[in-house]
Chain A
Amino acid sequence: MLTNYLKLAYKVLLRRKFFTFVSLFGTSVTLLVLMIASAMLDHTFAPLPPEVRLDRTLHVTYMAMRGEGNEWSGSPGYGFLDRYCRGIPHVERMSVFTGAHGASSFVGGEKVVSQLRHTDAEYWSILDFDFVAGQAYGESEVADGSHVAVISEAAARNLFGDRAAVGQSFETRGQTFRVIGVVRNVPRMRETAFADIWVPVTTLPSDVWKTGLMGDFNAMLLADSPRNFRAIRAEFAARLPHVVMTEPDRYKTMSGSPRTRLEDIAADAIGTKDDMPQTGLFIGVLVLLALLFMLLPAINLVNMNISRIFERVPEIGVRKAFGASTGHLVGQFIVENIVLAVLGGAIGFLLSLWALQLINGSGLITNADFQVNPRIFLYGLGLSVFFGVLSGAYPAWRMARLDPVEALRGGHR
């Protein structure tokens, strides 16, 4: 019987080409967008290399100083991070580093712009970079302010062409660095890892950066377990009242809290309330958007299924006359809808592969390496099948309960 249903499903899909196209288009494009969105979210939030410990890392990226009529908010300074954030219980390792900023070099008279980040030595032990040559700098190079650099494969190619980069020197921001390591390219969406060039923080000119409470620094706090995030935050908060303000006449207090990557993005996207990111609201908005996005094609699918099944009332009459029960007919239409949903899913999967490859290769997002997330794909496909079954079952059930005489009168062949 299933073969017969499948055969009929195939024929019906071919016969109603426009309906089939719209159904498949709706399902596959919905899945495509879900796949791209989930690949981007995965790329941002999942513990992927080099940020393999992202699930137990807190970031200090935002602080605020307030006084009477004065407020300074943004990235904290090295002075604050170094003096007040070290030695927090349950923090295994801590790294302080700057954001990645453009830095120019000249190669054969051509300007090459790279993203440069200053880091300490712990940076390399928290993040897990894939070294293709050489190694990272350590405590001694940072302590000495050695002008050494780790560069990405892309930077190596830009700066040195096909020559081996390790051992070569290059100049940027008026300083000369010797390459001691080359790593695989890091996608831009790996927020704390991304750069083209990494150099010791101690190579920053002058010593002003060492004392500022606010500045251009971030910190990673690697917890022994995500369960201890709360304790780490509590200790962090307990230390804030003891911060000695450098401009006490202008700023009296300092506030802020270590955040997960999700909290960081939520704060960037929808802001903070009392300096705390509104993560719940952010997730709620994302889920609502996803549901709304899926609801529209689902309603469309239900509508089309109803009209498609109404068209086949005489067939229902014939089948009832020859002994089909309501269950048989509902089963038949459900099989047809499952075929449609699975086909749409398969097309959506192929489209996703193609689109992600296109995005990866386009250079739109630097070093992007988006992959299809099989779990999200299965959820999406499951939802398509669910809506397919739902949208087929109800009209089929109604039609199957039609009086057979009425159904036979529904049209003539």
Chain B
Amino acid sequence: MSTLSPAAHTAVADPPRPNGHAAIRLTGVEKIHRTDRIETVALNQIHLAVEAREFLSVMGPSGSGKSTLLNVIGLLDRPSKGTVEIGGQSVGALSDRELAAKRNLDIGFVFQTFHLIQDLNVLDNVEIPLLYRQLPSGKRRVMAQEALERVGLSARTAHFPSQLSGGQRQRVAIARAIVGRPSILLADEPTGNLDSQMGDEIIAILEELNRDGTTVVMVTHDQRLASRTARIVRLFDGRQVE
């Protein structure tokens, strides 16, 4: 399991720390969705530090801001207020192109609905993050094969997503997330569309990746799975409540 200290296991809401080497640090983060008529506060004063190699669960009822938090950490969404640091670098001033490059190098995503491209086979799907690194195709192939071996799907490289079970699709999605060897893996309800046995298999893969040094942040509704992680952050109406 994790190499974190006991204190880290029970941490709930981290106060802002000016110094430190957290893999992820959110300070006073707020996210407000505005339309012409209404304002919705999705995140409110979030202070969160996730250490390198930590496995963190984010829980909370629907609409509590879990996915928004993951999107902000994953640089898919900019906060309305507050700062986000990834690997010690504040990302607030980065351009869209720089954010894209940082996502490509440092972060991997696993989505509840897999988001595989149906027209591409397993190997081509896994290769996607490497396309944006200007790597030669031979090297991309090798790295994609290795990622698929790690999730136990090296025999299915030529299959298309529609030919796979839900669990296999999610393993392809994990292989795609880790193929670029990111330091952070963000998983948004990775077992939400799977039965419990498949879900356990997926969590086991995430645990193994975490043991090998990847920082994992997982959004889940499942208390049983969350309890297997080193730390749980709970959100309610966009606030950290635990």
Cβ of A172 < 8 Å from any Cβ of B?
no
**Distance, CA A84 to CA B6, complexed state (A):** 116
Cβ of B97 < 8 Å from any Cβ of A?
yes
Q: Interface centre among B132, B137, B161, by most A CB within 10 Å?
A: B132
Pick the contact of B109: A7, A15, A321, A403 (CB < 8 A): A321
**Distance, CA A3 to CA B176, complexed state (A):** 18
* A323 in contact with B117 given A404-B76, A405-B76, A413-B161 (CB within 8 Å): no
User: B residues 190-227 with Cβ under 8 Å of A?
Assistant: none
**Distance, CA A4 to CA B137, complexed state (A):** 9
Q: Please tell me if the beta carbons of B119 and A12 are within 8 angstroms of each other in the complex.
A: yes
Q: Please tell me if the beta carbons of A323 and B115 are within 8 angstroms of each other in the complex.
A: no
**Distance, CA A361 to CA B216, complexed state (A):** 72
Q: Please tell me if the beta carbons of B100 and A325 are within 8 angstroms of each other in the complex.
A: yes
**Distance, CA A12 to CA B104, complexed state (A):** 25
Q: Please tell me if the beta carbons of A413 and B114 are within 8 angstroms of each other in the complex.
A: yes
Q: Interface centre among A15, A314, A325, A412, by most B CB within 10 Å?
A: A325
**Distance, CA A315 to CA B131, complexed state (A):** 14
Q: Please tell me if the beta carbons of A408 and B115 are within 8 angstroms of each other in the complex.
A: yes
Cβ of A245 < 8 Å from any Cβ of B?
no
Name the residue on B nearest A326 (C-beta).
Answer: B96
Pick the contact of A7: B76, B105, B108, B120 (CB < 8 A): B120
Q: Please tell me if the beta carbons of B120 and A318 are within 8 angstroms of each other in the complex.
A: no
Cβ of A317 < 8 Å from any Cβ of B?
yes
What does the 1/0 interface line of A87-115 toward B look like (CB < 8 Å)? 00000000000000000000000000000
Pick the contact of A322: B77, B113, B132 (CB < 8 A): B132
Main secondary structure of the interface of A (DSSP, over half): helix
Q: Please tell me if the beta carbons of B97 and A325 are within 8 angstroms of each other in the complex.
A: yes
What is the number of residues of chain A that contact chain B, defined by CB distance less than 8 Å? 28
Q: Please tell me if the beta carbons of B137 and A15 are within 8 angstroms of each other in the complex.
A: no
**Distance, CA A322 to CA B96, complexed state (A):** 13
List residues of chain A with CB within 8 A of the CB of B161: 413
List residues of chain B with CB within 8 A of the CB of A413: 113-118, 161
List residues of chain A with CB within 8 A of the CB of B30: none
User: B residues 112-149 with Cβ under 8 Å of A?
Assistant: 113-120, 124, 127-129, 131-134, 137
List residues of chain B with CB within 8 A of the CB of A315: 117
Q: Please tell me if the beta carbons of A320 and B77 are within 8 angstroms of each other in the complex.
A: no
Q: Please tell me if the beta carbons of A403 and B119 are within 8 angstroms of each other in the complex.
A: no
Cβ of A56 < 8 Å from any Cβ of B?
no
Q: Please tell me if the beta carbons of B104 and A323 are within 8 angstroms of each other in the complex.
A: yes
What does the 1/0 interface line of A11-43 toward B look like (CB < 8 Å)? 110010000000000000000000000000000
Q: Please tell me if the beta carbons of A4 and B124 are within 8 angstroms of each other in the complex.
A: yes
Q: Please tell me if the beta carbons of A325 and B115 are within 8 angstroms of each other in the complex.
A: no
Cβ of B238 < 8 Å from any Cβ of A?
no
**Distance, CA A7 to CA B128, complexed state (A):** 13
List residues of chain B with CB within 8 A of the CB of A323: 100-101, 103-105, 129, 132-133, 180
List residues of chain A with CB within 8 A of the CB of B129: 322-323
Q: Please tell me if the beta carbons of B127 and A322 are within 8 angstroms of each other in the complex.
A: no
Shortest beta-carbon distance from A17 to chain B in Å: 13
**Distance, CA A319 to CA B77, complexed state (A):** 15
**Distance, CA A413 to CA B173, complexed state (A):** 12
Name the residue on A nearest B112 (C-beta).
Answer: A412
List residues of chain A with CB within 8 A of the CB of B97: 325-327
Q: Interface centre among A7, A315, A317, by most B CB within 10 Å?
A: A315
Q: Please tell me if the beta carbons of A319 and B128 are within 8 angstroms of each other in the complex.
A: yes
**Distance, CA A403 to CA B74, complexed state (A):** 13
Cβ of A238 < 8 Å from any Cβ of B?
no
List residues of chain A with CB within 8 A of the CB of B71: 405
List residues of chain B with CB within 8 A of the CB of A327: 97
Name the residue on B nearest A13 (C-beta).
Answer: B119
Q: Please tell me if the beta carbons of A4 and B131 are within 8 angstroms of each other in the complex.
A: yes
Q: Please tell me if the beta carbons of A318 and B124 are within 8 angstroms of each other in the complex.
A: no
**Distance, CA A100 to CA B25, complexed state (A):** 92
* A318 in contact with B100 given A7-B120, A8-B120, A12-B119 (CB within 8 Å): no
Cβ of B55 < 8 Å from any Cβ of A?
no
User: A residues 275-324 with Cβ under 8 Å of B?
Assistant: 314-315, 317-324
Q: Please tell me if the beta carbons of B124 and A317 are within 8 angstroms of each other in the complex.
A: no
List residues of chain A with CB within 8 A of the CB of B111: 408
Cβ of A208 < 8 Å from any Cβ of B?
no
Q: Please tell me if the beta carbons of B109 and A322 are within 8 angstroms of each other in the complex.
A: yes
* A318 in contact with B115 given A4-B124, A325-B96, A403-B77 (CB within 8 Å): yes
Cβ of A250 < 8 Å from any Cβ of B?
no
User: B residues 51-91 with Cβ under 8 Å of A?
Assistant: 71, 74, 76-77
List residues of chain A with CB within 8 A of the CB of B134: 1
Q: Please tell me if the beta carbons of A321 and B76 are within 8 angstroms of each other in the complex.
A: yes
A322-B180, A412-B113 known; 9 other A-B pairs, CB under 8 Å?
A: A4-B127, A12-B119, A318-B128, A323-B105, A325-B101, A326-B96, A405-B77, A408-B76, A408-B115
A sample of 21 cross-chain residue pairs with beta-carbon separation below 8 angstroms, ordered by A number, consists of A3-B137, A8-B119, A8-B124, A15-B118, A15-B119, A314-B115, A315-B117, A322-B176, A322-B180, A323-B132, A325-B96, A325-B101, A326-B96, A327-B97, A328-B132, A404-B76, A405-B71, A408-B115, A412-B113, A412-B115, A413-B115
The 3 closest A-B pairs by CB, nearest first: A323-B104, A11-B119, A322-B129
